[in-house]
Amino acid sequence: MSTYIILSKISPNALDVPEDFRKMADSVKEKIRKECPDVVWKDSYAVKGQYDVVDIVESNDPGQVDKASMIIRSHGRSDTQTMQASPWKEFLRTI
């Protein structure tokens, strides 16, 4: 399986109150679970800086990862950037 990192920046207009974030996150998670069965969620982090959330996923189907990213964009009202990641040891073996 390939590893992907999805970086998300939540729109300032996405929520009226911070408490609504949990509902939105649960809704996005459920939609991805139903529509992207080949995407395995490994972990998520709230971060400070340019992005608000970092999600780490695995999949053999890059199209499903793209779809998950678009669900985050549309239902999570976020800008996203998706990157394929290589484990460091594997990367070192290739160079």
Per-residue pLDDT of the chain (95 residues; tens, 9 = 90+): 999 999 999 998 888 887 888 889 999 999 999 999 999 999 999 999 999 999 999 999 999 999 999 999 998 789 999 999 999 999 999 99
The percent of the chain in helix, strand and coil, each rounded to the nearest 5, is 40, 35, 30
Q: Where are the domains of the chain?
A: 2-94
CB-based contact 14:24 (threshold 8 Å): yes
> What CATH architecture does domain 2-94 belong to?
2-Layer Sandwich (3.30)
Tokens representing 9 are: 């920046």
